[in-house]
Chains A and B, each alone.
Chain A
Amino acid sequence: MEMGRLKNRLIARVFTMFPSLARGAAAKVPPLSFDQTPWAPFDKPLSQARIALLTTAGVHMRADTPFDMQDSTGDPTLRVVPSAAPVAEMMITHDYYDHKDADRDINLVFPVERLREMVAEGIIGGLTERFFSFMGHIDTNHFPRFLEDQLPKVAAMLKADGADAVLITPG
């Protein structure tokens, strides 16, 4: 593995071991700014609701193209993960957080098995056929594609799949 990726993974491991260092680094990230807070009321019983899952943890199907770790400014592209897919067919490509535990149990960042259990128990009504994943290291040069192309695609697929709510998880 090239030195740049090794360095990123080492930093990610240190940040996981010492969360205060991670929060110190996060404090130096230039602030984001958005004009609005989105809102939609949730007004149906959870036991009848169809839930979607979206993560920024870099999850994708093993058969799918991995996220780009060569571009130091990130990768804004979307991966679709079937909600019924075996977790053994999923993997994580993301050098900017330490995912060695999530590699052993993907539910730490992408709780697909927990959500299936909740459906089986009748706590939530169902899952959308498609779940969604990004790799959360996305610098501002990628924002136009991310915000104006990829996210509207996700929104359209969520609407087409009849999602009543979306659970969003980080890495």
Chain B
Amino acid sequence: MGISIERKFTEQTRPSRAIFLKWPYGHPLGEVGNVKQHRAVLGEAFKLLQEATEPGTIVDVPFRWRREEY
């Protein structure tokens, strides 16, 4: 499963499963030292790994950049 921050490229490369976050480049897991944030992203990725039933599933994770508490 992939973590994407550029949906266009992810759609084109057709991974089996991916989560998408509209976050800046260089920060697919989030911010420096924000362990809870990193773990929340990984939680979404592993949830998709276990639940996806269709090839090419891309889930838009609704986490807002720097506007969430984890």
A12, A42, A111: the one contacting B50 at CB < 8 Å is A42
Q: Are the C-beta atoms of A38 and B16 separated by less than 8 Å?
A: yes
Q: Which of A66-74, A96-104, A126-134 contacts B (4 or more CB under 8 A)?
A: A96-104
> Which residues in B have their C-beta under 8 angstroms from that of A123?
46
B-side interface mostly: loop
- Using a CB-CB cutoff of 8 Å, which residues 33-70 of chain B contact chain A? 33, 35, 38-39, 42, 45-46, 49-50, 55-56
- Using a CB-CB cutoff of 8 Å, which residues 8-37 of chain A contact chain B? 12, 15-17, 19, 22-23, 26-27, 29, 31-34, 36-37
Q: Are the C-beta atoms of B26 and A108 separated by less than 8 Å?
A: yes
- Interface bracket on B: 35 or more
Interface residue A157 (Cβ < 8 Å from any Cβ of B): no
- Using a CB-CB cutoff of 8 Å, which residues 113-171 of chain A contact chain B? 114-115, 117-118, 123-124, 165-171
17 A-B contacts, Cβ less than 8 Å apart?
A22-B25, A23-B6, A26-B8, A34-B13, A37-B16, A46-B50, A97-B25, A101-B27, A101-B31, A108-B38, A111-B42, A167-B1, A168-B15, A169-B29, A170-B4, A170-B5, A171-B28
